[in-house]
Amino acid sequence: MADNRAVAYEGPGKVQVIDTPYPEFELKDGPGVNPANVGRKVPHGVILKTIATNICGSDQHMVRGRTTAPQDLVLGHEITGEVIEVGPDVEFIKVGDICSVPFNISCGRCRNCKERKTGICLNVNPDRPGSAYGYVDMGGWVGGQAQFVLVPYADWNLLKFPDPEQALEKILDLTMLSDILPTGFHGAVTSGVTVGSTVYIAGAGPVGLAAAASALLLGAAVVIVADMNDDRLAQARSFGCETINLTEGDPQDQIEQILGVPEVDCAIDAVGFEAKGHGKDAEEAPATVLNSLMEITRAGGELGIPGLYVTGDPGGIDEAAQKGSLSLSLGTGWAKSLAFTTGQCPVMKYNRQLMMAILYDRIHIAKAVNAKAIPLEDAPKGYAEFDHGAATKFVLDPNGYLGASAA
């Protein structure tokens, strides 16, 4: 049996690379695995040799201790890999295929999956609709920041790249199909971006940058990205965005300076529940972004909310925030007839189209998010740099496909 190395959460602020079992076609007991899922057979699955697996801001929430993630949870839900074993019930995916793995785990059989709502599959997480690899309260499917990973319902879940050689040439772009590019695109689509739109995006992390690139792909006239990190704002400007530094105060006046009016057609929250207030010395205020977006979006506009919100936050600023209960100015949203879309991005709704856009050079997402490949063993360093605001999307290289070498 092959060895396996993986990145695990070891407590607030700490991850390490550990030895972990090679995957089998059965869900075993372990950190974070729902007891009802233990022993679940996966004849419909495949085992991937990981080509690329990325550090995500959602992982960072766990690593900061802002969720109820257990110690030794293997992390990672942004996975691209080569199929090396197939289960007996797999019909169409073959050994040697190079595939993108949607971070949503879905069965393809339930009502929600049949309605393309793969982010809230009813059959893969006994606790609630929706599941993901290596994530707290998501059923316990083992994460993919590892050399090898099990993918269930492979014929349904995997997006096979049509040409392996072409895929490897564009792998830093294609690895973004597992999460951040479809998630950013979902934020843009659900906020109503179309040709000529003016767009405001809160957050210049990788998802915010992916949303900005997606808005431009969809034909937006002006894309304004707001953050408090100068390096991340510079990254947004590098591919044609306007930017706002929120340390300078409320965004409304700055929007008016750019557009001539203090409002936009479409707004996207790419920050989530660890939001801060506006201004130089702003403290955490988790409803800030949502309330701000309602103020600056035109009447009749739409808000896309791919930023993560949780129902359990041990580090929340008060008892309400610890339960995911925020003080929203819903009256503002109602009075302006605003539409809201929240929740996991249903990756399979978009990933094939975005794959084609990458393969035919309509979008260069790796450049937009400043992707950087690093060895798996450097994951703790990557997490630390990302937590300190690096304007970089760290792509882990567990098996040497990307040629990353230790620093």
**240 found inside a domain:** yes
pLDDT tens, residue by residue, 185-233: 999 999 999 999 999 999 999 999 999 999 999 999 999 999 999 999 9
Query: Domain check: are 149 and 204 in the same one?
Result: no
Buried b (16+ CB within 10 A) or exposed e, 91-102: eebeeebbbbbb
Work out the mean pLDDT of the chain and round it to a whole number.
Answer: 95
One domain, residues 34 and 153: yes
Q: Is residue 231 part of a domain?
A: yes
Do residues 325 and 368 both lie within one domain?
no
Assigned domain for 405 exists: no
CA terminus-to-terminus distance, the chain:
30
How distant, in Å, are the alpha carbons of 73, 91, 106, 269 from that of 45? 21, 10, 12, 34
3-state secondary structure of 14: strand
**Same-domain status, 19 and 167:** yes
Report pLDDT digits (tens) over 378-393.
Answer: 999 999 999 999 999 9
100's tokens: 């993108």
Residues paired with residue 223 on neighbouring β-strands, in sequence order: 199
Mark whether 10 and 91 lie in a shared domain.
yes
Contact 157, 131 (CB under 8 A): no
Shared-domain flag, residues 68 and 188: no
> Does residue 277 carry a pLDDT above 70?
yes
Q: What would the DSSP string read from start to end of 63-78?
A: HTT-S-PPTTEEP---
pLDDT band of 249, cuts 50, 70, 90: confident
CATH number of 203's domain: 3.40.50.720
Distance CA 390, CA 38 (A): 38
Q: Comparing C-alpha atoms, which of 93, 89, 119, 117 is closest to residue 105?
A: 119
Cβ-contact 131, 120 below 8 angstroms: no
SS3 138: coil
C-alpha–C-alpha distance, residues 367 and 306, integer Å? 21
Q: Are both 74 and 187 inside the same structural domain?
A: no
Mark whether 220 and 257 lie in a shared domain: yes
Domains held by the chain: number:
2
Q: What percent of the chain has pLDDT over 70?
A: 99
Shared domain for 172 and 222, answered yes or no, is no
Do residue 132 and residue 42 come from a single domain? Answer: yes
Domain coverage including residue 140? 5-179+350-397
Based on the domain organization, do 138 and 238 belong to the same domain? no
> Is the same domain home to 56 and 16?
yes
Q: What is the CATH number of the domain that holds 157?
A: 3.90.180.10
